[in-house]
Amino acid sequence: MSLLPITIYGDKILRKKTEKVFDVDIDTVKLIKDMFDTLKNASGIGLAANQVGADKQIFIVNLSEIEGYELSKPLVLINPEIEKFSEEKIVMEEGCLSIPDIRSEIERPKRVTIKFYDTNLKEQRIEASELLARVIQHEYDHLQGVLFIDRISGEDNKKLKKELNKIKQRKRDFDYPVTEHMDYQLL
């Protein structure tokens, strides 16, 4: 297992809708294990495959380091599809490993139902609420080429332009390995 460099704001793969997974082979299993190592190293709670350069519909979630979620099990979601969003919304602060040190209040549905496949390509379905629902929606967005900053109002987004440009140009320090500027697919 190894750490993978995280794709950063400006890398084209973050804006691409990812490809479906039809086979969980040894390379896919290694990717998933490496994603968990990368997530832990970066102190994150969710990571999508395109955030490590892989054009695959896979994301992982691990909330076990968060107070109140210590007993939650890590999740691997392959080819996920959100089937239902609650009408009730909740506002929470979000951040992203691909857009380090930028955080913003984002409104999202409080609960979701998501269908996905596990690593045995067996269909699963879970209903999630609160933080788990938030992370699922955030990571699902990544697989659609959507970033959380796309959900920030135009006025607030304008305020971020200077900082986003520094991230895009790698003119700042990062706390974990990141890609060189990337116009291609790594994995």
Superfamily of domain 12-168: Peptide deformylase (3.90.45.10)
- 1-10, 126-135, 157-166, 169-178 — which is least confidently predicted? 157-166
User: How high is the mean pLDDT of the chain?
Assistant: 93
Active site residue 139: yes
Q: Specify the pLDDT at position 157.
A: 74
139, 155, 163, 180: which is the annotated catalytic residue?
A: 139
- Cα 138–140–143 angle (5° rounding)? 115
User: pLDDT digit string (tens) for 125-164?
Assistant: 999 999 999 999 999 999 999 999 999 877 777 788 889 9
Q: What is the C-alpha to C-alpha distance for residues 40 and 19, in angstroms, rounded to an integer?
A: 25
- pTM of the prediction? 0.93
Domain ranges of the chain: 12-168
Q: What is the C-alpha to C-alpha distance for residues 46 and 40, in angstroms, rounded to an integer?
A: 10
Q: In Å, what is the CA distance from 123 to each residue of 68, 119, 126?
A: 28, 10, 10
Q: Specify the pLDDT at position 153.
A: 78
Confidence of residue 181 (pLDDT cuts 50, 70, 90): low
Residue 186 has pLDDT above 60, yes or no: no
Q: What is the C-alpha to C-alpha distance for residues 49 and 57, in angstroms, rounded to an integer?
A: 7
User: pLDDT digit string (tens) for 51-95?
Assistant: 999 999 999 999 999 999 999 999 999 999 999 999 999 999 999
The distance of Cα 12 from the centroid of its chain, to the nearest Å, equals: 15
